[in-house]
Amino acid sequence: MKMNGVVVLLLRFLCLLGVCWMTSASVVLIGNNITLSFDDVEANFAPAIEGTGQCGILYLANPLDACSDLSNKVEKGSNITSPFALVIRGGCSFDDKVRRVQKAGFEAAIVYDNDDGFLVAMAGNAAGIKIHAVFVSKASGEILKKYTGSPDIELWLSPTFENSAWSIMAISFISLLAISAVLATCFFVRRYHVRRERPRSSRVREFHGMSRRLVKAMPTLIFTAVLDDNSTSRTCAVCLEDYTIGEKLRILPCHHKFHAFCIDSWLTTWRTFCPVCKRDARTTVGDLPASESTPLLSTSPSSVSSVLSCVRSRIASSSSIQIDTAAWTSPPASHAHSLASVPSIQPSVRSYHHSPSMSYS
């Protein structure tokens, strides 16, 4: 909100500068709910108006043509702020009018034309003249007469374009610096917020990743041939490329295999679970906790042995069936692979449960 307010104030300031640049008026009347500007031409014999101009209160000269000494003189030490005198053209020279206005204590003379015409540059002898003098049109003078003698109305004499060129250039340069400062502030504030959010996102990323030490501790093997009919036994589920002989594979606790480089990047950068079964790779190589999706029989040899032990105890407790314990000896090493496969174990277990008349010798 504060930044938007600064931008709005800057835009208003630039608009005001544009208005001052476009207008040709150098006499500005400012009062209660009124602002009027008039074109003028400075006198050649009077000091030039410099800087930001001069402000004062306008009074009507008496006599109006100022061809004789003015009766309404400004008392020295009075609290009148920069009194200006409004004088009409004609009756005497311009420099005589300005000298009499200066003698009466006024600080500027505004001479308006006594006939409709073009503005002219007042010429004359500059000796002894120390106050400003400008020339305005007849229409401007008639309007200014209505606001003379009012302390609530201020009259500004601003410098002409030739005298204020350097001032305008300086103001333009300062405005450019102000715009640059605002834009730079917006840029650095945005950059600060971005940098402030980066540590938070990095912490979240570190939370989802595993340490390389834990990943390197997982078992690996060198691919030689497809041994299991598994979804990850032929193709890496991360890069979707088939294994080639000699490549290094890493085995997760869920017994799924992947390219070592692929799964290491996955576990340390993105997530900590298996891309296939979504099991947390940080757990040990044990049995999965039971859930609705857990199969009735596991493919691990320990699970097969426990199932066979359960079936053996049930058959032994039956009085109508003779069990030869020799038939339940551990299978030879050559058949370990067949016992580990699910299709070969499940039919045999079903045969024990659904064939009560079966006998063994």
The DSSP secondary structure of 85-120, one letter per residue, reads: EEEES-SS-HHHHHHHHHHTT-SEEEEE-SSS----
Q: What pLDDT is attached to residue 301? A: 52
Q: The tokens 């306008």 sit on which residue?
A: 58
| DSSP 8-state symbol, 1 | -
Q: What pLDDT is attached to residue 314? A: 62
**131: its two tokens:** 């106050």
Per-residue tens of pLDDT for the chain, all 361 residues: 445 555 555 555 555 554 444 334 479 999 888 899 998 999 999 998 887 788 999 999 999 999 999 999 887 766 667 899 999 999 999 999 999 999 999 999 999 999 988 898 899 999 999 999 999 999 999 999 999 988 888 999 988 655 555 667 777 888 888 899 889 998 888 888 888 876 655 555 445 578 888 888 888 888 888 776 666 678 888 888 888 888 898 888 888 889 989 998 888 888 888 888 888 888 765 554 444 444 544 444 555 555 456 556 666 555 444 434 444 444 444 444 433 333 443 444 344 344 444 333 3
Total residues belonging to the chain: 361
Distance from C-alpha of 148 to C-alpha of 115, rounded to nearest angstrom: 20
Q: Please list the residues that pair with 85 across neighbouring strands.
A: 59, 109
Q: What pLDDT is attached to residue 327? A: 41
Phi, psi values for residue 84, rounded to 5°: -110, 150
From the list 199, 186, 86, 219, the residue with the least C-alpha distance to 146 is 86
Q: What pLDDT is attached to residue 197? A: 76
Beta-carbon-side half-sphere exposure of residue 71 (alpha carbons within 13 Å): 4
Q: Please list the residues that pair with 280 across neighbouring strands.
A: 273
Question: For residues 147 and 58, is the Cβ–Cβ distance under 8 A?
Answer: yes
Q: What pLDDT is attached to residue 57? A: 92
Strand order in the sheet with 220-222: 220-222, 248-251, 257-259
Q: What pLDDT is attached to residue 4? A: 55
Q: What pLDDT is attached to residue 217? A: 86
Beta-carbon-side half-sphere exposure of residue 70 (alpha carbons within 13 Å): 27
**355: its two tokens:** 């064939």
Angle formed by the axes of helices 301-317 and 342-354, nearest 10°: 10
**298: its two tokens:** 């596991």
Q: What pLDDT is attached to residue 338? A: 38
Distance from C-alpha of 294 to C-alpha of 340, rounded to nearest angstrom: 17
Q: What pLDDT is attached to residue 211? A: 82
| DSSP 8-state symbol, 161 | T
Q: Is the dihedral of CA 233, 236, 241, 246 positive or negative?
A: negative
Identity of the amino acid at 249 = L
Angle in degrees, CA 139, 140, 142, rounded to 5: 65
Q: What pLDDT is attached to residue 50? A: 82
Q: Name all domains of the chain by residue range, CATH numbers in brackets.
A: 23-158 (3.50.30.30), 212-270 (3.30.40.10)
Identity of the amino acid at 284 = T
Q: What pLDDT is attached to residue 359? A: 36
Q: What pLDDT is attached to residue 270? A: 82
Strands 54-60, 154-157: parallel, antiparallel or unpaired by DSSP?
antiparallel
Range 257-265, long-range pairs (CB < 8 A, 24+ positions): 257/221, 257/230, 257/232, 257/233, 258/232, 260/220, 262/236, 262/238, 263/215, 263/238, 264/212, 264/215, 264/216, 265/238
Distance from C-alpha of 59 to C-alpha of 145, rounded to nearest angstrom: 8
Distance from C-alpha of 87 to C-alpha of 131, rounded to nearest angstrom: 14
Supply the pTM of this predicted model: 0.41
